[in-house]
């Protein structure tokens, strides 16, 4: 999970860990890329508005990395702009979730997506 | 929801500004009368909600200058009407001068409208902002029940912790601030994560920053729908009562005061341009909704 807000990361981490998902955190895009190169994750959840490297650039860069061509990348953002959503699609995002998320539904979707990734690999 | 404007009249009992009071009340101005110049400066120091100050000549030139300069030192952008003979103020300080002789309620109201951009923030926008802020606060354990909007023309901070997000677009730019006391932020943090969580200022302002992020995120949709798109940055944080935000814009802010479980929270927005006509038009509701998940 890549988000500059420790509050937001912590909220998501608690919800995901309760569902048995192991979560790694990064506070912005560059750190997220570094982590993604250390270990291949089943799913990436990212904010858009972050310092140093924002979420859109992070997604574009991440997609260039081996093992991340097909990885689900969910954007979790408060930005409700349709222009930004289109930019997210072009960058390679898989889903766009408006904060605050419906946590049970989002966690369920992540559990299914990660399970399906593990099954196919 | 009525947008309150707090006005301080600095004038003796029965002075010329007194006859303006009925008209100002009709216009829903909240009036604070302060007869003593020294008390007036102190009031500016302790009451950040002021929209405007009107001052009558005290009859003592040195006292007049000390009074106006004292208020200007504290709040350089607070709209200040001066009723009296021309004042020679220190360089860089200015006041709006009312007609000295036969000032009418109309004169004052015209000045107030000019200074306060009375129609700058339509009430439907204040309502939308209040609902958006309440949703954001409750998502972070800072449940609040009501909003009290007012026009804030000073740079004074409204609480000791603040998160500021700037936004900018071709036709709309400005900033939004969410503020709360440490106690309010701490209680919200505990409701969210439990008592064992880290509770330093970094964690508390981060929570306020995420609230401000959510609010600005919703405003993007509101303005985009009205043909005024903008992008926004990451939150900046201010902690401590002595910090002052030196905002670029000199416009007044629309401020909302919320009553939370453990104290007050504030959300203020300063927009350098606002088209009230387009904001009030009956546009279709095509906003992306909170919680909505769109597969791309």
**Which site among A89, A98, A102 would you substitute to test the B interface, given the most B Cβ atoms closer than 10 Å to its Cβ?**
A98
H-helix segments, B121-174? 123-139
CB within 8 Å: B296 and A10: no
From the list A14, A82, A98, the residue facing B224 with the nearest CB is A82
CATH for B123-280, options being 2.130.10.10, 2.30.30.60, 1.10.274.50, 3.40.1550.10: 3.40.1550.10
User: Is residue B108 a contact partner of residue B100, using CB atoms and an 8 Å limit?
Assistant: no
CB within 8 Å: B293 and A101: yes
CB within 8 Å: A78 and B234: no
CA distance B247 to chain A (A): 21
Residue B277 scores a pLDDT above 50: no
B210 contacts chain A (CB < 8 A): yes
**Which site among B210, B218, B232 would you substitute to test the A interface, given the most A Cβ atoms closer than 10 Å to its Cβ?**
B210
Q: Over range B57-80, report the average pLDDT.
A: 86
Structure-token pair, residue B114: 């000019």
CB within 8 Å: B210 and A50: no
Residue B77 scores a pLDDT above 80: no
B285 contacts chain A (CB < 8 A): no
CB within 8 Å: B206 and A11: no
A97 contacts chain B (CB < 8 A): yes
Q: Which distant-in-sequence residues (6+ apart) come within 8 Å of B111 by Cβ?
A: B81, B96, B98
Give CA separation, B240 vs A109, B43, B161, in Å.
Answer: 42, 20, 6
The Cα A25–Cα B226 span in angstroms is: 37
B227 contacts chain A (CB < 8 A): no
The Cα B232–Cα A46 span in angstroms is: 17
Highest mean pLDDT among A6-10, B156-160, B219-223: A6-10
Band of pLDDT at residue B285, cut at 50, 70 and 90: low
A113 contacts chain B (CB < 8 A): no
- Collect all residues of chain B within an 8 Å Cβ-Cβ radius of residue A93: 296
Q: Which distant-in-sequence residues (6+ apart) come within 8 Å of A73 by Cβ?
A: A43, A44, A45, A46, A59, A62, A63, A92, A93, A94, A95
The Cα B289–Cα A78 span in angstroms is: 10
The Cα B166–Cα B161 span in angstroms is: 17
What pLDDT is recorded for position B284? 47
B291 contacts chain A (CB < 8 A): yes
What pLDDT is recorded for position B4? 74
Model confidence pLDDT, tens digit, residues B139-197: 888 888 877 888 787 777 889 999 999 999 888 888 999 999 999 999 999 998 888 76
CA distance A40 to chain B (A): 22
What pLDDT is recorded for position B252? 78
Q: What is the DSSP string of A34-69?
A: HHHHHS--S-EEE-S--SSS-HHHHHHHHHTSTT-S
Predicted ipTM?
0.85
What pLDDT is recorded for position B207? 95
Q: What percent of chain B has pLDDT over 70?
A: 86
The Cα B211–Cα B219 span in angstroms is: 13
Ranges B41-50, B138-147, B225-234, B248-257: which has the least confidence: B248-257
List chain B domain ranges.
5-116, 123-280
What pLDDT is recorded for position B17? 85
Give CA separation, B194 vs A75, B182, B188, B189, B197, in Å.
Answer: 27, 16, 9, 7, 6
Band of pLDDT at residue A2, cut at 50, 70 and 90: very high
CATH number of the structural domain B5-116: 3.40.50.2300
Q: What percent of chain B has pLDDT over 90?
A: 27
Sign for the CA dihedral angle at A12, A14, A16, A19 comes to negative
- Rounded to a whole number of angstroms, the CA Rg of chain B reads 21
**Which site among A80, A101, A103 would you substitute to test the B interface, given the most B Cβ atoms closer than 10 Å to its Cβ?**
A80
Bridge partner residues of B154 (DSSP): none
A67 versus B250: the higher-pLDDT residue is A67
- Rounded to a whole number of angstroms, the CA Rg of chain A reads 13
Band of pLDDT at residue B274, cut at 50, 70 and 90: low
Model confidence pLDDT, tens digit, residues B12-50: 888 888 877 887 787 778 889 998 888 999 998 888 888
- A-B contacts at Cβ under 8 angstroms: 100
CB within 8 Å: A79 and B214: no
CATH for A6-115, options being 3.10.310.70, 3.40.50.2300, 3.40.30.10, 3.50.50.60: 3.40.50.2300
The Cα B254–Cα B256 span in angstroms is: 7
- Collect all residues of chain A within an 8 Å Cβ-Cβ radius of residue B296: 85, 88-89, 93-96
What pLDDT is recorded for position A46? 97
Model confidence pLDDT, tens digit, residues A84-101: 999 999 999 999 999 888
């Amino acid at each position: 999970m890549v988000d500059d807000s420790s509050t937001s990361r912590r909220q998501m981490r608690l919800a995901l860990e309760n569902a048995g998902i192991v979560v790694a955190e990064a506070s912005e895009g560059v750190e997220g890329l570094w982590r993604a190169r250390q270990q291949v994750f089943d799913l990436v959840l990212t904010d858009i508005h972050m310092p140093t490297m924002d979420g859109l650039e992070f997604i574009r860069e991440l997609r260039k990395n081996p093992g991340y061509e097909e990885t689900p990348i969910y954007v979790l953002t408060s930005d409700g702009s349709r222009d930004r959503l289109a930019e997210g699609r072009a960058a390679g995002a898989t889903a766009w979730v408006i904060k605050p998320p419906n946590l049970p539904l989002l966690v369920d979707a992540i559990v299914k997506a990660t399970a399906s990734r593990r099954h196919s690999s | 929801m009525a947008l309150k404007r707090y006005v301080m009249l600095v004038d003796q009992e029965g002075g010329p500004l007194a006859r303006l009071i009925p008209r100002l009340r009709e216009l829903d101005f909240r009036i604070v009368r302060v007869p003593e110049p020294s008390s007036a400066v102190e009031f500016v120091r302790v009451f950040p909600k002021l929209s405007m100050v009107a001052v009558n000549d005290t009859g003592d030139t040195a006292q007049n200058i000390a009074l106006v300069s004292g208020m200007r030192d504290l709040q350089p952008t607070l709209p200040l009407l001066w009723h009296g003979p021309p004042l020679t103020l220190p360089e860089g300080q200015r006041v709006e001068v009312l007609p000295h002789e036969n000032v009418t309620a109309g004169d004052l109201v015209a000045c107030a409208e000019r200074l306060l951009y009375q129609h700058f923030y339509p009430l439907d926008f204040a309502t939308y902002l209040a609902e958006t802020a309440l949703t954001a606060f409750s998502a972070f354990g800072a449940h609040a029940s009501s909003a009290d909007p007012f026009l804030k023309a000073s740079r004074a901070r409204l609480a000791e912790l603040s998160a500021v997000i700037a936004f900018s677009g071709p036709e709309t730019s400005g900033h939004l601030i969410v503020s709360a006391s440490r106690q309010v932020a701490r209680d919200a943090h505990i409701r969210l994560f439990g008592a064992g969580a880290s509770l330093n200022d970094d964690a508390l302002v981060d929570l306020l920053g995420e609230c401000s992020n959510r609010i600005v995120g919703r405003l993007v949709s509101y303005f985009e729908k009205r043909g005024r798109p903008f992008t926004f940055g990451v939150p900046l944080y201010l902690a401590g009562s002595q910090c002052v935000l030196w905002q670029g814009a000199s416009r007044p802010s629309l401020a909302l005061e919320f009553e939370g479980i453990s104290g007050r929270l504030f959300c203020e927005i300063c927009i350098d341009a606002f088209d009230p006509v387009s904001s009030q038009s009956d546009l279709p509701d095509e906003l992306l909704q909170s919680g909505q998940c769109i597969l791309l």
